[in-house]
């Protein structure tokens, strides 16, 4: 996110349409949340390159920025369907009961549109599970961990293949074109992801300086309406 932040910090980079309404995050806000997530991964959880975090969460802004936070720290992500799931160090999920046999640390994501913790929003947090939002908010807005290059593995997909940052950038260029600072970038409008591989696909425009709009109502009519409103392109 650094090139985006330097060139156009105030422009929207991640917009979500969910049952809770529309949420828009600027490049600066996304970068701040990604930094918080990266600091949590490194400073609190002791994770880094070579580690994997499993993500099992519906379309919303919080899972998206946390994936960016994992990448900031050079940590790969995977879905529960990936062969990497059983050895994953941490699970990010909105359902504390979804994977009772998971052996790593479980971080409970809130679905509150303003990022309040599960407990703060009146929900229950089972014993031994971290209510993520309060821990995330106290992290620094600037990433303080070690830097990693684009050759770091950022995804272990459902087939077990490892995908680096370089691979994802190439995939983004192939699908969406453009480059950071070129002025020829996409504002991609799409439906909700069904797994972590789909979440990563949703974020691809960010690799080339574009922006992302995700709607949980993914009927063709609704996506076309949103694309007109957001001046984007349905992908």
Q: Given this model, what pLDDT does residue 8 score?
A: 77
> Where in 115-216 does DSSP place strands (E)?
130-131, 153-156, 162-164, 187-191, 211-215
Q: DSSP state, 183?
A: S
Q: Given this model, what pLDDT does residue 5 score?
A: 55
Q: Are 203 and 209 in contact (CB under 8 A)?
A: no
Q: What predicted TM-score, i.e. pTM, was given to this entire model?
A: 0.95
Q: Given this model, what pLDDT does residue 183 score?
A: 58
The two three-digit tokens of residue 104, written as one number: 């790593």
Q: Given this model, what pLDDT does residue 4 score?
A: 57
Rg (CA), the chain: 17
Q: Given this model, what pLDDT does residue 178 score?
A: 66
DSSP helix/strand/coil, 204: helix
**Alpha carbons 155 and 152: distance in angstroms, whole number:** 9
**Alpha carbons 76 and 54: distance in angstroms, whole number:** 9
- pLDDT, tens digit only, all 235 positions of the chain: 555 555 678 889 999 999 999 999 999 999 999 999 999 999 999 999 999 999 999 999 999 999 999 999 999 999 999 999 999 999 999 999 999 999 999 999 999 999 999 999 999 999 999 999 999 999 999 999 999 988 999 999 999 999 999 999 999 999 988 665 555 689 999 999 999 999 999 999 999 889 999 999 999 999 999 999 999 999 9
**Alpha carbons 45 and 73: distance in angstroms, whole number:** 11
Q: Given this model, what pLDDT does residue 73 score?
A: 96
Q: Given this model, what pLDDT does residue 104 score?
A: 96
The two three-digit tokens of residue 100, written as one number: 């009772």
**Measured in whole angstroms, how far is the alpha carbon of residue 51 from the centre of its chain?**
16
Residue carrying the six token digits 């990563």: 200
> Which residue segments constitute the domains of the chain, with CATH numbers given?
2-11+22-234 (3.40.50.12780)
Q: Are 85 and 79 in contact (CB under 8 A)?
A: yes
| Count of Cβ atoms closer than 10 Å to residue 138 Cβ | 10
Q: Give residues with Cβ within 8 angstroms of 149, minimum separation 6.
A: 165
**Alpha carbons 83 and 158: distance in angstroms, whole number:** 7
């Amino acid at each position: 996110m650094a090139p985006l932040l330097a060139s156009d910090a105030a422009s929207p980079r991640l917009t979500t349409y969910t049952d809770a309404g529309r949420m828009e995050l600027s490049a600066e806000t996304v970068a701040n949340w990604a930094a918080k997530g990266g600091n949590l991964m490194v400073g609190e959880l002791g994770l880094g390159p070579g580690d994997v975090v499993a993500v099992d969460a519906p379309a919303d802004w919080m899972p998206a920025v946390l994936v960016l936070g994992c990448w900031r720290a050079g940590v790969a992500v995977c879905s529960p369907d990936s062969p990497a799931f059983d050895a994953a160090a941490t699970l990010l999920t909105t359902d504390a009961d979804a994977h009772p046999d998971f052996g790593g640390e479980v971080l409970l994501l809130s679905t509150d549109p303003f990022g309040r913790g599960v407990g703060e929003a009146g929900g229950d947090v089972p014993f031994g599970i971290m209510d993520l939002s309060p821990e995330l908010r106290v992290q620094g807005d600037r990433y303080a961990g070690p830097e990693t290059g684009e050759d770091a593995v950022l995804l272990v997909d459902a087939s077990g293949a490892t995908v680096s940052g370089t691979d994802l950038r190439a995939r983004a260029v192939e699908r969406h074109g453009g480059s950071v600072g070129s002025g020829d970038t996409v504002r991609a409008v799409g439906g909700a992801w069904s797994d972590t591989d789909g979440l990563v696909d949703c974020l691809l425009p960010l690799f080339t300086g574009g922006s992302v709009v995700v709607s949980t109502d993914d009927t063709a009519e609704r996506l076309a309406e949103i694309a007109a409103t957001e001046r984007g392109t349905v992908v």
